[in-house]
Structure 1
Amino acid sequence: MSPATRSDIATRDLVIACHIAGPADGPAAVLCHGFPYDVHAMVAAGERLATGGWRVVVPYMRGYGPTRFRDTATLRSGQQAALAHDLLALIDALGLDRPVVAGFDWGGRAACIVAALWPERVGGLVSCGGYNIQNIATADTPLAPEQEARLWYQFYFHGARGRAGLRDNRARLARLLWSQWSPTWRFDDAVFHQTAPAFDNPDFVDVVIHSYRHRFGLVAGDSRFEATEAALAEQPVIEAPAIVLDGAASGLFEVTDTAGLAPHFSAPFEHRVLPGVGHNPPQEAPAAFADAVMALGG
């Protein structure tokens, strides 16, 4: 699927820029990127799926690339409920019939939430990193010092200095995070420079800062999503069939414990650990990511 062409899909809040490929009558998959990445993370996996007969939709998340808010008054929220409602609205707008939803980081969170709260709307879930629904009530509980150090960027974004740093150094900061989170991934300038323009979206800084403040309970969310956030506070079980992918070489999170995952899934799920892969499995191991999607295609 070529990143040179796109479709713009209007939903209630956004005009979502998407790359869409593959036969219209094929099984559908929506592939969602995370922070700080963009649709290029999904190109190779998407091409593999489209060649295999899948209808593949890869959206720019809110605050990235050509995706735009429709109303200047809409809160530039990056909260987890907003991301999930964006994904659900895109599925509705495109008339997709129970697509597999798949993603990593922010995109994996959106996919997990849709699979948990609206399981009848999806055919399956591919989540990189496990059960990716935030438990905001426990956000102030300290983690091991080593993990706290890995989350330095989140704490940085809590203050004015971090907001200014993201605004003024968005590409440099993103490249640093790529290197830290995927220490075995030897991406080059050309690969990074494909994605970097996505951070020039006029809402990028607002959405990112809101995301990393909301998840720690430091700012209010969009009032329209209060019911969804209340449901997520209950840490709902994911009822859709799922495959969890973990990069064994992630510089951000440890590999998820399979036994610890089990209580979060009521349908069959499989845990696959990818040796030598970091935080961005779709771009670092596109065949493994695409194969997980295809395994849920029934």
Structure 2
Amino acid sequence: MTKYIETPYLNLAYEEAGNPQGNPIVLVHGWPDDVRCWGKITPELAKLGHRILAPYLRGTTPTTFRLEETLRSGAISALGQDLADLIDGLDLRDILVVGYDWGARAGYVVGALFSERVRGLLAMSAGYATSKPVRDMSYDLAKAYWYEWLVATKQGREAMDKDRRRLCRHLWRTWSPAWRFDEAEFEATAASWENGDWAPISIHAYLQRWGEAAGAPEHEELEKRLLENPPIRVPTVMLQGADDADNFPETSEGKERFFVSSYERRVLPGVGHFIPREAPDEVLTAIRQLLSDTAASDVRRS
């Protein structure tokens, strides 16, 4: 069921399923994708009696902005603040956050700076604290980020806007080399990108990430805090596709020092970037583990 909540800057849409009185699990999708990525996961969690909420990220229909003059920011700080606003607006407590790609980055923000309402975090397809100068990354990785550099050019920005379906279909095909999706699956999701906000947000995300554009003024203080890579304060499991051709496995290696609670990284053989779609069973296993481990911790504390 699609519902809406008004946050300071968004009319934020989200899908809700399961038991309204159950333990809340928030599923946050990636880019370029939408909540349909959780199609094989939500029903199983609902069977277990959980309350499942899956927001549509800014720029993804039917989420809209309240004001036309608000900067269409795709910064990590914006994604994290949106997630924090959803959690606060719905007065969610003791939640498990599950996010992949952009959703994982939003999850890291709340796990570090809004952790009082979060019991655990499952992050996928994006490691923590990955922003670094090009001189510190392999050129193979820089090559994989070609689409991020593309938007620094006028023609690249036009491609992101006018040729978004062809561009994203190429990303789906190449980021997960062994995954075979059908055209209906792609088109159903691509329809949610057909709005006036998706392209500006997508373009801004990468211009801002690489220092070519400023963030939104409303996120300035949060952005400053994130530059310090604040520690993640909740139990975390990180799933990395061994064949991820976007965020290579090297991008999530050696992050243990950023986690002050428990942290486990698992590399999934034969899996690429779109983990919720490619490996839903592994996602469900990690969710069950986090729920079990954090419940045991609660018992020990009580």
Asked whether the two chains share a fold, i.e. TM above 0.5, the reply is yes
Which residue does the alignment assign to 2:72? Answer: 76
Q: 2:175 aligns with which of 169, 181, 187?
A: 181
Moved more, 185-194 or 139-148: 139-148
Call closer, same or farther: CA 1:35–1:17 in 2, change over 3 Å: same
1:290 and 2:300 are equivalent in the alignment? no
The answer on whether the counterparts of 1:31 and 1:57 sit within 8 Å (CA) in structure 2 is: yes
**3-state SS of the aligned residue for 1:260?**
coil
CA–CA distance in structure 1, aligned partners of residues 217 and 223 of structure 2: 10
Which shows bigger deviation, 245-254 or 13-22?
Answer: 245-254
1:239–1:267: 8 Å Cα contact kept in structure 2?
yes
Structure 1 residues 266 and 130: CA distance shift in structure 2, 3 A: farther
User: Contact 2:134–2:142 (CA<8 Å) still a contact in 1?
Assistant: no
TM-score, with length taken from structure 1: 0.94
Q: Are the equivalent residues in 2 in contact too, given 1:100–1:123 (CA < 8 A)?
A: yes
**Identity value in percent:** 38
Q: In structure 1, list runs of 5 or more residues that go unmatched.
A: none
Aligned-pair CA distance for 1:59:
0.9
Quick one: distance in 2 between partners of 1:219 and 1:88?
Answer: 24
RMSD between aligned residues? 1.5
- The counterpart of 1:114, out of the listed 103, 110, 116, is 110
Partner residue in 2 for 1:51: 47
Q: Following TM superposition, by how much is the alpha carbon of 1:139 offset from its aligned partner in structure 2, in angstroms?
A: 3.5
Q: Among residues 80, 85, 90, which one is paired with 1:89 in the alignment? A: 85
Checking the alignment, whether the CA contact within 8 Å between 2:240 and 2:252 is kept in structure 1 is no
1:39 equivalent in structure 2: 35
Candidates 194, 211, 223, aligned match of 1:217: 211
Preserved CA contact (<8 Å) 1:139 1:215: no
Hey, what does 1:244 align to over in structure 2? Answer: 238
2:122 alignment partner in structure 1: 126
2:274 paired residue number: 280
C-alpha deviations, 1:47-105, integer Å up to 9, x for none?
21111111111111000121000011111111111100000011112221121111111
Partner residue in 1 for 2:300: none
AA in 2 matched with 1:124:
G
**Does the CA contact (< 8 Å) of 1:66 and 1:201 recur in 2?**
no
* Contact 1:140-1:216 within 8 A present in 2 as well: no
Query: Does 2:282 correspond to 1:263?
Result: no
TM-score by length of 2: 0.92
Inter-partner Cα distance in structure 2 for 1:269 and 1:88: 22
In 1: Cα distance, 2:26 partner to 2:61 partner: 17
Q: CA deviation at 1:201?
A: 2.0
Aligned residues: 292
Cα distance in structure 2, aligned partners of 1:95 and 1:171: 36
**Unaligned 5+ runs, structure 2:** 296-302
Report the counterpart of residue 170 of structure 1 in structure 2. 164
* Aligned residue type for 2:234: A
